[in-house]
Amino acid sequence: MQSGLIPLHMLPLGSEGKVKDLTAMGNARRRMLDLGLILDTVVEAIAKSPSGDPTAYQIRGAVIALRSEEAGKILVEPV
């Protein structure tokens, strides 16, 4: 992992991060790109479900819920 980058699922609630890398492959990668998770997109962690998974993220004006497994494949730089 590159220095200073964290998986999206480790981003604290209320914090923002810039997408710097996607480690997902195949259909999962395509889905993330389709959701707008491209280089330098700002993502904000806004809420967790009562069980803790999934987490809701604000991405380009939309709220998207991602499971920890999916969010762990998105590397962000905290801002």
Within a domain: 1: no
Is a pLDDT exceeding 80 seen at residue 3? no
What was the pLDDT predicted at 4?
Answer: 87
Q: What is the pTM of this model?
A: 0.88
Burial (Cβ within 10 Å: 0-12, 13-18, ≥19) of residue 41: middle
Within a domain: 10: yes
The pLDDT tens digits of the residues spanning 16-60 come to 999 999 999 999 999 999 989 999 999 999 999 998 899 999 999
- d(CA 15, CA 34) in angstroms, rounded, equals 23
Q: Please give the tally of structural domains in the chain.
A: 1
Range of the structural domain that residue 19 is part of? 6-78
Is a pLDDT exceeding 80 seen at residue 76? yes
